[in-house]
């Protein structure tokens, strides 16, 4: 079955960096747009970034543009989120999610989600 598994979360000091990974299985990973979404403790969902299926196009929320960078390795079926200059307000569960959108579909919607990885930014 289609599965996404995030890793790389943990406790980090303000100003430091962290790189999250999202390993995909059970799907042709290179055929789909991918997203990162986060959820701070007790708060709602916040969309962070999207990358096209080829990896050429990337979109970012204002809250993370310039600090976070999304990338993907379609040979290793893995999505990444490089997070720099981390702040306490970046503390959240980080989810990767697959979109319907790809070369075979122009539907949009995040139909598969990982279980999430917790990032805590604290001194």
Partner 1 sequence: QSALTQPASVSGSPGQSITISCTGSTYDIGGHDHVSWYQQSAGKVPKLIIYDVAKRPSGVSDRFSGSKSGNMASLTISGLQADDEADYYCHSFTSSTTWVFGGGTKLTVL
Closer to partner 1 by Cβ: residue 18 or 50:
50
Burial 109-120 (b: 16+ CB within 10 A, else e): ebebebebbebe
Should residue 24 be labelled a site residue for partner 1 when binding is judged by CB under 8 A? Answer: no
Verify binding: residue 75, partner 1, rule CB under 8 A. Answer: no
Q: Is 47 in the site for partner 1 (CB under 8 A)?
A: yes
Which of 62/75 has CB closer to partner 1? 62
- Which residue among 1, 56, 62, 66 contacts partner 1 (CB under 8 A)? 62
Tokens for 119, please give them.
């990032």
Which is closer to partner 1, CB of 110 or CB of 121?
110
Q: In what order do the strands lie in the sheet with 18-25?
A: 3-7, 18-25, 78-83, 68-73
Residues at the contact surface with partner 1, assessed by CB under 8 A? 35, 37, 44-47, 50, 59-62, 95, 97, 100, 107-111, 113-116
């Amino acid at each position: 079955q289609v599965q996404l598994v995030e890793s790389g979360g943990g406790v980090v000091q303000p100003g430091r960096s962290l790189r999250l990974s999202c390993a995909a299985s059970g799907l042709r990973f290179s055929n789909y747009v991918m997203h990162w979404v986060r959820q701070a403790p007790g708060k709602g969902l916040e969309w962070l970034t999207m990358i096209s299926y080829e990896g050429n196009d990337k979109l970012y929320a204002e809250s993370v543009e310039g600090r976070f960078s999304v990338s993907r390795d379609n040979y290793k079926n893995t999505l990444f989120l490089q997070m720099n200059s981390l702040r306490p307000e970046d503390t959240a569960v980080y989810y990767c999610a697959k979109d319907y959108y790809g070369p075979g579909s122009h539907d949009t919607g995040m139909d598969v989600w990982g279980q999430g990885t917790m990032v805590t930014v604290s001194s």
